C-alpha cells in the first residue's frame, strides 16, 4: 500500500451524509459497508487499559455510526440512540426533571408520549402541563410557571398542527427553559429544530428515519456537547440504549432517507389533490394547504410539508368502517413513515390511551382518519381511495 495524501476535509450536503456515513470505515477488511458487531463485550488490550468499547449497553460501533449520522444530519453536537422513540423521551425527562420541575407538552402529542408524561407525573416524578403550543396565550401562561422543559411536536400527530419553533425557543430562553422538538414527522431533510434554537431533537426512528417498518428505535440529539454527554451517561445508567442490529438496519434505512422523503411528498401531494375534490371528505389537515392553521409558519421553518395527513370522513361510523375495510393499499395499522401506505383511526387506535375528554381537547373526533402516504405508485393509491369511497356511496 502506498501512503495516500491527506484528503481535503469537505462539508457534505445532507443526502451525502445520509448515504456515506461509515462507508469504507472498516479497517480490518476494508468492507465498503461497515460490518455489524453483535458482541456484547470487548477485550481490554492490557490490564487497566479501558478500550473505547467495553460493554454494548455503554457503547457499540454500529450505534456510534448511527449516532454520528443522526447528529450530523440534525446539526447537533452528539446523540444517543435508544431502543425506541419513547425511550428517548423517557431518557430526556429522566436526565433533567426532578419532582418540582415542570414540563410543558402539546395536548395533541403522540399518544404514547402523553401516557408516559401523564403516568410519571401522577407518580410524582415531575409535573406536566399539556397545552396547545400554537395558542400564544396558553404558551404565555405556561411560561409564567417557569417550566424546566418544553416539548414541541411539529407538525403534531394526528392533526399536523404547526408550532413556531423559533418563537417558542426565544420565549423559553427568557425563562430559562430548555426546548426539545419531536421531529419524527419531517426528519432533518425537511426541518432542523436545532438551527431554530432548540436544545434537543427527538425521533422515533421507527418511522421515516428507518423507513421500512421493521425496526423499533429512537434517538435524542443535543445542540451542546455537554448535554449529549449527560444524556449518554443517563442512557447507559437507565439502560435505554439501542441494539447493534437495530442500529445497523436503521443506518441502512437512512442511506435512502432523502430520496424516500421526496417521493413520499410527491405522492402525498397527488393524494391531497384527489381528496380535496371528494364529497366523502369534509376537512383535510395538511400544512401545505393555504387554509391550514400554521401554513405560513410551516413555509418559514420547513423545507417540505411531509407526507402525513388527516381528514374528517364525511359519513356515518358504519360508512367509515366500510371505507377502511375496502381499502387494499392502505393497511389499517398504527405507526407511520414506512414505504407502505397506512390508514389509522386515531380515536380507536394510536390515541386510545387518551380518555374522551383529553381526545376532545386535542380535537380528535371519531370521524378523523390519518394517512401515512407510502412509496407505492400514487396512481394506484388514488384509484384505491376512489374505489373504497365508491363502495360506500353505492351502499347508501
Residues that bind ligand PLP (CB under 6 A): 84-86, 110, 112-113, 153, 157, 182, 184, 204, 206-207, 216, 218
Q: Please confirm, yes or no, whether 123 is among the known catalytic residues.
A: no
Rounded to whole angstroms, the Cα distance separating 64 from 22 reads: 10
Strand-by-strand arrangement of the 149-153 sheet: 78-82, 218-222, 200-204, 178-182, 149-153, 102-106, 127-131
- CB 81 → ligand PLP: shortest distance, Å? 12
- Considering only CA atoms, which of 262, 348, 275, 271 is closest in space to residue 312? 275
Q: Is 32 left (phi over 0), alpha (psi -120 to 50) or beta?
A: alpha
Identify which of residues 287 and 315 has a Cβ nearer to ligand PLP in the complex.
Answer: 287
Q: Is there a contact between 70 and 221 (Cβ–Cβ < 8 Å)?
A: yes
Cα separation values, 37 from 43, 81, 218, Å: 13, 16, 19
Q: Which residue has the cell 436503521?
A: 250
- CB 384 → ligand PLP: shortest distance, Å? 24
- CB 207 → ligand PLP: shortest distance, Å? 5
Identify which of residues 85 and 133 has a Cβ nearer to ligand PLP in the complex.
Answer: 85
Identify which of residues 201 and 280 has a Cβ nearer to ligand PLP in the complex.
Answer: 201
Identify which of residues 272 and 336 has a Cβ nearer to ligand PLP in the complex.
Answer: 336
- CB 185 → ligand PLP: shortest distance, Å? 6
Please identify the residue of the shown chain whose CB is closest to the bound ligand PLP.
Answer: 85
- CB 202 → ligand PLP: shortest distance, Å? 7
Which residues make Cβ contacts (< 8 Å) with residue 108, sequence separation at least 6? 132, 153, 156, 157, 158, 159, 161, 362, 363, 364
- Considering only CA atoms, which of 219, 153, 150, 159 is closest in space to residue 183? 153
Rounded to whole angstroms, the Cα distance separating 216 from 218 reads: 7
Identify which of residues 207 and 255 has a Cβ nearer to ligand PLP in the complex.
Answer: 207
Give the three cell numbers for residue 125: 416524578
Residue 54 DSSP label:
S
SS3 state at 332: strand
- Considering only CA atoms, which of 141, 97, 142 is closest in space to residue 121? 97
If you count them, how many residues does the chain have?
396
Catalytic position from the list 37, 96, 110, 378: 110
Identify which of residues 60 and 206 has a Cβ nearer to ligand PLP in the complex.
Answer: 206
- CB 101 → ligand PLP: shortest distance, Å? 21
Rounded to whole angstroms, the Cα distance separating 311 from 244 reads: 38
- Considering only CA atoms, which of 145, 135, 149 is closest in space to residue 107? 135
Catalytic position from the list 161, 207, 260, 370: 207
Identify which of residues 35 and 112 has a Cβ nearer to ligand PLP in the complex.
Answer: 112
Report strand pairing: 200-204 vs 308-313: unpaired
Q: Please confirm, yes or no, whether 379 is among the known catalytic residues.
A: no
Rounded to whole angstroms, the Cα distance separating 7 from 383 reads: 52
- CB 276 → ligand PLP: shortest distance, Å? 25
- CB 111 → ligand PLP: shortest distance, Å? 9
Q: Please confirm, yes or no, whether 182 is among the known catalytic residues.
A: yes
Identify which of residues 56 and 86 has a Cβ nearer to ligand PLP in the complex.
Answer: 86
Would you give the end-to-end CA distance of the chain in angstroms?
76
Catalytic position from the list 164, 182, 199, 246: 182
Please list the active-site residues. Answer: 57, 110, 182, 207
Amino acid at each position: 500500500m502506498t501512503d495516500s495524501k491527506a484528503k481535503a476535509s469537505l462539508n457534505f450536503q445532507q443526502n451525502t451524509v445520509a448515504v456515506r456515513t461509515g462507508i469504507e470505515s472498516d479497517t480490518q477488511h476494508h468492507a465498503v459497508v461497515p460490518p455489524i458487531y453483535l458482541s456484547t463485550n470487548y477485550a481490554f488490550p492490557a490490564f487497566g487499559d479501558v478500550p473505547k468499547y467495553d460493554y454494548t449497553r455503554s457503547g457499540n460501533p454500529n450505534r456510534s455510526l448511527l449516532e454520528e449520522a443522526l447528529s450530523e444530519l440534525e446539526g447537533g453536537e452528539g446523540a444517543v440512540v435508544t431502543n425506541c422513540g419513547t425511550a428517548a423521551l423517557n431518557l430526556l425527562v429522566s436526565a433533567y426533571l426532578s419532582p418540582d420541575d415542570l414540563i410543558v407538552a402539546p395536548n395533541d402529542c403522540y399518544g404514547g408520549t402523553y401516557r408516559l408524561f401523564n403516568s410519571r407525573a401522577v407518580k410524582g416524578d415531575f409535573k406536566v402541563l399539556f397545552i396547545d403550543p400554537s395558542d400564544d396565550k396558553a404558551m404565555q401562561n405556561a411560561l409564567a410557571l417557569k417550566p424546566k422543559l418544553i416539548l414541541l411536536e411539529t407538525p403534531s400527530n394526528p392533526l399536523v398542527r404547526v408550532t413556531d419553533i423559533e418563537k417558542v425557543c426565544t420565549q423559553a430562553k427568557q425563562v430559562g427553559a430548555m426546548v426539545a422538538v419531536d421531529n419524527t414527522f419531517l426528519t432533518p431533510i425537511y426541518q432542523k429544530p436545532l438551527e431554530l434554537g432548540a436544545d434537543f431533537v427527538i425521533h422515533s426512528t421507527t418511522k421515516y428515519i428507518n423507513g421500512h417498518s421493521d425496526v423499533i428505535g429512537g434517538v435524542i440529539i443535543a445542540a451542546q456537547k455537554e448535554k449529549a454527554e449527560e444524556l449518554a451517561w443517563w442512557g447507559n445508567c437507565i439502560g435505554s440504549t439501542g441494539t447493534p442490529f437495530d442500529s445497523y438496519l436503521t443506518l441502512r434505512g437512512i442511506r435512502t432517507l432523502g430520496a424516500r422523503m421526496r417521493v413520499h411528498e410527491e405522492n402525498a401531494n397527488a393524494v391531497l389533490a384527489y381528496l380535496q375534490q371528494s364529497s366523502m371528505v369534509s376537512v383535510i389537515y395538511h400544512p401545505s394547504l393555504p387554509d391550514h392553521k400554521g401554513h405560513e409558519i410551516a413555509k418559514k421553518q420547513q423545507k417540505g410539508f411531509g407526507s402525513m395527513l388527516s381528514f374528517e370522513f364525511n359519513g356515518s361510523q358504519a360508512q367509515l368502517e366500510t371505507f377502511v375495510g375496502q381499502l387494499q393499499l392502505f393497511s389499517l395499522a398504527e405507526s407511520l413513515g414506512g414505504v407502505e401506505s397506512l390508514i389509522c383511526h386515531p380515536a380507536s387506535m394510536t390515541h386510545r390511551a387518551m380518555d374522551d375528554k383529553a381526545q376532545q381537547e386535542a380535537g380528535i373526533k371519531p370521524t378523523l382518519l390519518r394517512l401515512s402516504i407510502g412509496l407505492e405508485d400514487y396512481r394506484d393509491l388514488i384509484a384505491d381511495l376512489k374505489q373504497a369511497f365508491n363502495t360506500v356511496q353505492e351502499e347508501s
